[in-house]
Structure 1
Amino acid sequence: MEDLNNASPRPTSGGQTSSAHIHQSDVRFQRGVAPVSSPDLPAARLTLPGVMDAEGRVDESRLRMHIFKNGGVSPSERGLVWRFLFGMYPCSSTALERSLLQEQLVERYRVMKRKWQQFLPSAVRLHLNGTDAELVAAVRYFDQRQAQAKRQTQDQPQEVQDRLAFLELQAQILFERITFDQGELREAIRIIDKDVPRTNRDLSYYQGEGSGNLLVLRDILITYAAFHPDVSYAQGMNDLCSRFLEVLDSEVDTFWSFSCYMEKFSKDFRADGLHRKIELEAALLKELDPPLYAHLVTDNMESFTFCHRWLLLGFQREFEHSDALRLFEILSCDHLELISQQVDRARYQERLARRCSAEDSPKSKLQTINTAFTFELFICAAILLDNREFLLRCRDDVQLIQFTSSLQGTLDLNSTLKKAEHHLYNYCKRCAWDYMNGHCREHKSKDEDFLYQLRSLLVLK
């Protein structure tokens, strides 16, 4: 079965579609009930000062730096920022190009969803047992929304209908050869139908008529599983995708943004990928606190699996909800990549140092920065180190799991960020400073400049 990771359309420079046209096909609802396509964003709001130019192009490095140094973005700009941050909109695209791109994304998603619905018509509707009154109401609200969307589509001007019909034909050709494995897709839908009702319904986004968004979430997850068979669906994806749906408030934009995110992180939902991340967390803690590491790898506590949910869902339940959204975008801005040039420079100087000191100390091994230690691992380490004394009293995995459960919704984000940044800075400093200060002294001023730049990039404002 073909994987569509590379099927996302890119804006074409010749499109002259006005921004007004793209939103004529939108279905408008009150906040908390997701429209099919993007919510209308007036031109006055389509700006990110210092990040976006007059034509709407975004400086990606400035955007990521803006997110990291400000500890996230304001709720008013979050929806727009996430469309760039997670790759739905190319940062190099202009506002005019994104109008055409949006129409392409809408039609492609509709064709994709219709294709699996025609393949498994019995799975179109969520089967209810009648005992969950809220879920029954959610289905009713969802059906009402679908009917309203159909009426509004029929009321569009003929010019718009013709243009969208052409884009629909292109999408049909693109996905014509895609086939599904019926058994695998049915199994994915079975798990999705169990997980979606377990999504956090205490969020205001799923309250009242917003409960219909649970069915929107279901359609997004099934469409993703159908067209990404190598990934399909794994438990936890509903919570992750729900985060996108709440922020973007759009079924189509959520699907494409979630798909772009999963291109990079789908491996975390496979056993080998998450096992690798847990191994890295253990290795980092060994660097930062060898005694605590040694305690946590005793016979009764053989792994760091109690950190599983933290790393899989980006600490979604450990912080207050709005803070969890901020942390997710901070982690997703890949700020460690922003210092990659400085790290590469330090490595180059290290190679020079090795040559300079080869005759004096041929057996010396200089420690290097492990760039596999991502910031989320330092967040996890900061939480562990902050609860060091309690963890040292734990004697088995049951106590560790009880410990992680006790932290839900209790952590302070700003404090945790500062501690994680402090551990990251000290780790980088320890890896580079000793040898820089003792080898190739003629490069000392440059080394100090490197550390100054590193510190300035890591400071949270």
Structure 2
Amino acid sequence: MNGTMPRSSLATTADVAVRRTVGSVTTPAPTTTPLRLPGVMDAEGRVDESRLRMHIFKNGGVSPTERGLVWRFLFGMYPCSSTALERPLLQEQLAVRYQVMKRKWQQMLPDSIRLRLNGTDAELVEAVRYFDQRQAHAQQQDQQEEVRDKLAFLELQAQVLFERVTFDLEELQEAIRIIDKDVPRTDRDLDYYLGEGSGNLLVLRNILITYAAFHPEVSYAQGMNDLCSRFLEVMDSEVDTFWSFSCYMEKFSKDFTADGLHRKIELEAALLKELDPQLYAHLVTDNMESFTFCHRWLLLGFQREFEHSDALRLFEILSCDHLELISQQVERARYQERLASKHSIVPEDNLLTEPQAINTDFTFELFICATILLENRESLLRCRNDVQLIQFTSSLQGTLDLNFTLKKAEEHFYNYCKRSAWDYMNGHCRTRKNKDEHFLYQLRSFFS
């Protein structure tokens, strides 16, 4: 692709708001029901982002009934600063833009509109039938003349926005070829893709191709289908899934590159070396392939290691950046301690060097991964080659307890912070009578 999608703010609103059908996607009027989360949304519908993220962390996720709306804020489709009146306008505009984008690649590659079917896959053949019926029903819905005029105006805006976008057709066709292999294998055991829901596989395909077409610097890589499927299942909307998935990929697309994966594996190795040097040394012996067996865990947020509903909870917990929030609190507390120490009398033998700063590159997913490794330490130490290692880690799929894993991961993070600063803080805080001034007590309050 020679041109890229114009980077306009998703917060831009259109001049109209209606309930409508655009192309094959029926988009209902978005809900304005307030989030049932205390202290998160104000009277006009604006969301306090930091409180939302902390609520997700402290409560171990949100309920399934709240998840769809929460994810629209958490992953950036809805700006947290938007009001309940503004969001229908925004959703209207995003729906039309998505349809224009999808239609553009379909016009350029008409032979790729339909999935290349494997005749032996009866379920997939039926999925195409359900999908075609859904499209025909959507196109038959009547629209009032006023609504058509408003939609025509929005569509004209979208066409102008994407007019100069061009595709590298050869690269896009290659991406579609891989997508057509991956989509039929995506979560076929979930209720969302069974029966008439099997047509959702074709919805997923459209989202992935549209994303690849308008994000050539990322295109498509294996694993994106599983990640995008998670958004589609929760939001049950082609349009909303595309924009939420796109926002997520703005931050994490590097994880699907060789350099990004290598960097994440390096960080996981460095963290385990801090937590358990012996296990680290065993996993980097000549007969092992270091930490590459953690690839799928880290890339897909442990999607298959936990029961499905727990995997969704973990994904939103990992995405709320609570570790980064805690790290910021820790650093602020340490800064306050350093300021206070300058004005206090400390015995010369208690003067200690500044501790090494907490490595904020150690994201919470790395602590989750390290926790799984540490909890299976003895089994890992018995592995003598990479084949045994991969066999063992594969056997963990669907067997892990999320609440236990979260608790242990938080403990490992707590201990990591304590080792990083304990001596320094102990030397400067041992004369303090108010324990609340000690950063360790502040940190512990986040885990209560």
Correspondent of 1:274 among 243, 261, 267: 261
Sort the Cα spacing of 1:425 and 1:150 in 2 relative to 1 into closer, same or farther, 3 A.
Answer: same
* 2:58 aligned partner: 69
Q: Retained in 2: the 8 A contact 1:117–1:124?
A: yes
Aligned counterparts of 2:332 and 2:418: Cα–Cα separation in 1: 14
* Residue type at the aligned position of 1:9: L
CA shift in 2, pair 1:273/1:200, >3 Å? same
**What's the % identity of the aligned pairs?**
80
Residue 301 of structure 1 deviates from its aligned partner by: 1.4
TM-score under structure 1 normalisation?
Answer: 0.90
Partner of 1:53: 42
Whole-Å separation in 2 of the counterparts to 1:6 and 1:218? 23
Match for residue 77 of structure 2?
Answer: 88
Task: Tell me the equivalent position of 1:2.
Answer: 3
The answer to whether the 8 Å contact 1:83/1:89 transfers is yes
Give the CA deviation at 1:245. Answer: 0.2
Q: Aligned pair count?
A: 445
Matched, 1:204 2:200: no
Aligned mate of 1:156, from 129, 143, 150: 143
The residue number in structure 2 matching 1:109 is 98
- The letter for the 2-side match of 1:275 is H
| AA in 2 matched with 1:412 | D
**What SS is found at the alignment partner of 1:131?**
coil
Task: Give CA-to-partner distance per residue, 1:107-134, whole Å, 9 cap, x none.
Answer: 0000000000011111011111311111
Asked if structure 1 preserves the Cα contact closer than 8 Å seen for 2:352 and 2:427, the reply is no
Distance in 2 between residues matched to 1:124 and 1:16, nearest whole Å = 32
Deviation track 1:426-456 (CA, whole Å, cap 9, x = no partner) reads: 1112112221112476788588442222111
| Pick aligned residue for 2:225 from 228, 238, 248 | 238
SS at match of 1:55: coil
The aligned counterpart of 2:310 is 323
Note if contact 2:30-2:87 (Cα within 8 Å) is conserved in structure 1.
Answer: no
1:50 offset after TM fit, Å?
Answer: 2.1
Aligned equivalents of 1:116, 1:443: Cα separation in 2: 66
Separation (CA, whole Å) in 2 of partners of 1:344 and 1:77? 33
Q: How many Å separate the matches in 1 of 2:351 and 2:6?
A: 48
More moved, 409-418 vs 343-352: 343-352
Residue from 21, 26, 34 that aligns with 1:25: 21
Structure 2 residue matching 1:371: 3-state secondary structure: coil
The 2-side partners of 1:255 and 1:314 are apart by 19
Q: Report the CA distance shift for 1:299/1:348 in structure 2 as closer, same or farther (over 3 A).
A: same
Show CA shifts across 1:58-79 (max 9, x none).
0001100111111000000000
In the TM superposition, residue 10 of structure 1 has moved relative to its aligned partner by: 1.4
Q: Deviations over 1:196-245 (max 9, x none)?
A: 00101100000000000000000000000000000000000000000000
**Greater CA drift, 301-310 or 326-335:** 301-310
- Structure 1 CA distance, aligned partners of 2:363 and 2:21? 41
Determine the C-alpha separation between the residues in 2 that align with 1:380 and 1:232.
Answer: 27
Alpha-carbon distance change, 101 to 259 in structure 1, aligned in 2, over 3 angstroms: same
1:296-445 aligned within 5 A: 296-346=283-333, 348=335, 364=353, 366-439=355-428
Q: Deviations over 1:18-49 (max 9, x none)?
A: 5xx2x34379xxxxxxx825555554466544
* 1:309–1:354 distance in 2 versus 1, CA, 3 Å: farther
**Any conservation in 2 of the 1:239–1:313 contact (CA below 8 Å)?**
yes
**Preserved CA contact (<8 Å) 2:272 2:370:** yes
Structure 1 residue 172 corresponds to structure 2 residue 159: yes
Secondary structure at the aligned position of 1:25 is classed as strand
For residue 311 of structure 1, what is the amino acid of its counterpart?
L
- Mind listing any 5+ residue stretches in structure 1 that lack a counterpart? 28-34
**1:228, 1:301 → 2: CA distance?**
36
Q: Residue 179 of structure 2 corresponds to which residue in structure 1?
A: 192
Q: Is the 8 A contact 1:47 1:56 kept in 2?
A: no
Counterpart residue identity of residue 260, structure 1: C
Asked whether the equivalents of residues 105 and 210 of structure 2 are also in contact (C-alpha less than 8 Å), the reply is yes
Deviation of 1:17 after TM superposition, in Å, equals 4.5
- Once residues 323 and 5 of structure 1 are traced to their aligned partners in structure 2, the CA distance between those partners, rounded to angstroms, is 37
Give the drift of 1:378.
0.6
Is 2:10–2:77's contact at 8 Å kept on the other side of the alignment? no
Cα pair distance change 1:80/1:383, threshold 3 Å? same
Distance 1:349 1:95, change over 3 A: closer
State the shift of 1:347 in Å: 5.2
* Distance in 2, Cα, partners of 1:433 & 1:77: 40
Equivalent residues of 2:3, 2:167 under 8 A apart: no
The whole-number CA distance in structure 1 between the counterparts of 2:276 and 2:384 is 18
Give the whole-Å Cα distance in 2 for the aligned partners of 1:304 and 1:340: 25
Give the gaps of 5 or more residues in structure 2.
Answer: none
Query: Structure 1 CA distance, aligned partners of 2:79 and 2:239?
Result: 16
The answer to whether the Cα contact below 8 Å between 1:38 and 1:253 also exists between their aligned partners in 2 is: no
1:337 Cα offset (Å): 2.6
Give the aligned partner of residue 283 of structure 1: 270
Shift of 1:8: 4.4
1:399 partner letter: Q
- What is the Cα deviation at residue 144 of structure 1? 0.7
2-structure distance, mates of 1:222, 1:283: 36
1:456–1:142: structure 2 CA closer, same or farther, 3 Å change rule? same
Q: What's the Cα RMSD here?
A: 2.5
Counterparts of 2:176 and 2:350, CA distance in 1: 61
**Mapped partners of 2:31, 2:430: distance in 1:** 57
**Distance change (3 Å), C-alpha of 1:163 and 1:203:** same
